[in-house]
A and B are shown apart, each in its own frame.
Chain A
Amino acid sequence: MTEATSARALKPWEDPNAKPFLQIRNVTKKFGAFTAVNDVSLDIYQGELFCLLGGSGCGKSTLLRMLAGFEMPTSGQILIDGEDMSGVPPHKRDTNMMFQSYALFPHMSVEKNIAYGLKRDGVPRAEIATRVTEMLSLVQLDGLAARKPHQLSGGQRQRVALARSLIKRPKLLMLDEPLGALDKKLREETQRELIKIQETLGVTFVVVTHDQEEAMTLSSRLGVMTAGQIVQIGTPHDVYEYPNTRFVADFIGSVNIFEGKIAEDADDHVVIHSGDTDSDILVSHGISGVKGQSVAVALRPEKIAIERALPESLANRLAATVDDVSYMGNLSVFHVTLPTGKQVKVSQTNRRRSDDDAIRAGEAVQIGWDGAASVVVTA
């Protein structure tokens, strides 16, 4: 499958006639009195790489385990390729899973680990051998077939786990924190490889992760989970630029939130009156809300300009004092305080190696942003 025909490019979720490959319908899972997954509905399409993103204990792993068959929903239904999975145990599902701990069989060689699934299906020996060889070269482990798991590095183990879970050519592959155990450098490399493998094989991936950067990089779409519910589903771009709640805005990336009320509600713009700012905030797109409704304006630090003096044409301009400047290498983060006492984070790319004229802590500055830069969230 090439880039042009992958789910990433085709966006089947925008096509009302497309048939979802995996349907999760009102699934709830309770452990005693605790509700781990609360009435989740979700459609995932053929060839997607879907990420379930959330903090620990948000129910993402439980949801994944229900897809694999290790847990049964308390109520609701899971359909894979149109087939109801209720009561189907894991070993009878055409899905596979890559475990967070990798779960390699410690007493079997790499080759035996990878071949295990095919053996259980009674695939002829010769075919197993060819497919294992193919798989080893796909994950670039040629020559390591005879090793035992304890003789491998973390990155190699991860590849064995991936190969083992892919060899049965599952219709759906679930990955539980697939890169969680790798260090940062290796993780970035592996992310790209994972996408390549996924697109080569055209397998639908559902990935669970708590790492928002990872979810942004990997996924065709992602679902943000908290307290057992999916709060937003969308492409990484949608979720980052158009968060639908304060929680999502805050969970993904860094954000400034201005609490306020709708003061003026027009089709093409709204004005928000906020106690956090001296002047009202202009938002240059309409929203679904009524005058007087409490809302929040979410504004990303990198969308705010900071200068000693900003042009008057800018829709929103506020005076501020710089508290401190954190130098992060690629960018600098300014912590500024507005006259109301509200603290705001502003980030700026460091284009020059050194800047004698750079804004320093203690200076009086202006911050400002365009009317299209912010998002109004009602929840």
Chain B
Amino acid sequence: MGRRGKRRGDGMTPRALLEWVGAKGRAFVVAAPLAWLTLFFLLPFVVLAKISLSESAIARPPYLPIWEWAEGVLNVSLNFGNYLFLAEDPLYLMAYLGSLKIAAAATVITLLIGYPMAYVIARAPQHRRNILLMLVVLPFWTSFLLRVYAWIGILKGNGVINNVLMSMGVIDEPLVLLQTDFAVYLGIVYSYLPFMILPLYATLVKLDEALLEASADLGARPFVTFLNVTLPLSVPGIIAGSLLVFIPAVGEFVIPALLGGPDTLMIGSVLWNEFFSNRDWPVASAVAIVMLVVLVMPIAILQRTQSGKEEAN
């Protein structure tokens, strides 16, 4: 009884006050990150939407305000012209479709390469598993930009591939590999492969080996077991991995900029050029808003699979 008595005596702090401080501490833990993210992540989208409705101008910043307060009159001018412009010029539609096509195809290829890799890692003995996983993750930690750059040296006219093939006499003239859609696919698959392997590995490693043994015991050949047991159970990993590749690939800029050619139309590059070359901020904003609308569904699906996973844990 001495301890409690002493604490009450010297502190002179009523319990209510202590609780208030405790509650404040909790509130701070929530409020600090929330405030930061609201200001620097959520609010920017509001501004983005606003600018997409303003008119481009030669000024600093290069757009006109959407409302003006003059002589007691509030003038709001919402300019939907940027969106109409996107709809009228086929360039933009082609760029959106091109991005979706390239991202989707690259996602499928990544899945086809990533799945066997994830499977082998998940079935490897424990000590080797960590090493293999590290080998997958390591390139992801090192520079993305430099890894894309590495492909230039491999693909270009007098690059590694052409040099090897020509010295072996397979070809007489260098192949055109760089600045093609092929190079863009390669770049995306290469850069995003770890994003595919990790979620696939996470679901495959949790797969109870006894299920496979049970299936084999009941007479299924390994491939049948794979189709009936492994594949269905790894669907969450397939979905998560595919979306983690697809979503950023749609908005990709660096890969088409470095590896793509003049015919490679991707919306990330279009946005970049609107902003940096044409200095048309409102049109760039409209491009971004439309891209968000296109991506909102896949992002929502990804969020749901992730939060479902959290609840299952």
Contact = CB atoms under 8 A, between A and B. Distances in A.
A88 B19 CA distance: 10
Interface string A53-96: 00000000000000000000000000001000001110010100
A121 interface: yes
B15 interface: yes
A81 B1 CA distance: 9
Contacts of A88: 15
B3 A94 contact: yes
A92 B4 contact: yes
Given A87-B15, A87-B19, A121 B1 contact: no
Q: Chain A interface residue count: which class?
A: under 10
Contacts of A87: 15, 19
A379 to B, nearest CB: 39
B60 interface: no
Interface string A364-379: 0000000000000000
Contacts of B7: 92
A31 to B, nearest CB: 16
Interface of A: 81, 87-89, 92, 94, 121
Given A87-B15, A94-B1, 9 more contacts: A81-B1, A87-B19, A88-B15, A89-B22, A92-B4, A92-B7, A94-B3, A94-B4, A121-B3
B18 to A, nearest CB: 8
A44 B40 CA distance: 56
5 A-B pairs with the lowest CB-CB distances in the bound complex, closest first: A94-B4, A121-B3, A94-B3, A87-B15, A92-B4
A89 B22 CA distance: 11
Interface string B1-17: 10110010000000100
B303 to A, nearest CB: 24
Nearest to A89: B22
Nearest to B22: A89
A19 to B, nearest CB: 15
10 contacts: A81-B1, A87-B15, A88-B15, A89-B22, A92-B4, A92-B7, A94-B1, A94-B3, A94-B4, A121-B3
A96 to B, nearest CB: 12
Interface of B: 1, 3-4, 7, 15, 19, 22
From B3, B7, B19, residue with most partner A Cβ within 10 Å: B3
A88 B7 CA distance: 13
Nearest to B4: A94
A87 B23 CA distance: 13
A189 B4 CA distance: 36
Contacts of B19: 87
Nearest to A169: B3
Nearest to B15: A87
A87 B15 CA distance: 9
B9 to A, nearest CB: 14
Contacts of A94: 1, 3-4
Contacts of A89: 22
A274 B225 CA distance: 56
A81 B3 CA distance: 14
Contacts of B15: 87-88
Nearest to B16: A87
A16 to B, nearest CB: 25
Contacts of B3: 94, 121
B11 to A, nearest CB: 11
B16 to A, nearest CB: 9
A203 to B, nearest CB: 14
A357 to B, nearest CB: 48
A74 to B, nearest CB: 18
Nearest to A93: B4
A89 B15 CA distance: 10
A89 B19 CA distance: 9
B8 to A, nearest CB: 9
Nearest to A121: B3
A81 B15 CA distance: 19
Contacts of B4: 92, 94
B97 to A, nearest CB: 48
A94 B5 CA distance: 11
B137 to A, nearest CB: 25
A205 B15 CA distance: 28
A118 to B, nearest CB: 11
A46 B15 CA distance: 27
B89 to A, nearest CB: 55
B13 to A, nearest CB: 11
Nearest to B7: A92
A88 B22 CA distance: 12
A86 to B, nearest CB: 10
A88 B4 CA distance: 11
A121 B3 CA distance: 8
Contacts of B22: 89
B208 to A, nearest CB: 23
B257 to A, nearest CB: 47
Contacts of A121: 3
Contacts of B1: 81, 94
Nearest to B8: A92
A366 to B, nearest CB: 49
A121 B15 CA distance: 18
A13 to B, nearest CB: 23
Contacts of A81: 1
From B1, B4, B7, residue with most partner A Cβ within 10 Å: B4
A92 B22 CA distance: 13
Nearest to A87: B15
A278 B198 CA distance: 70
A218 to B, nearest CB: 27
A124 to B, nearest CB: 14
A81 B5 CA distance: 13
A81 B19 CA distance: 23
B14 to A, nearest CB: 12
A94 B2 CA distance: 10
B12 to A, nearest CB: 15
A89 B26 CA distance: 15
A94 B7 CA distance: 12
A89 B4 CA distance: 12
Nearest to A171: B1
B56 to A, nearest CB: 54
A63 B3 CA distance: 25
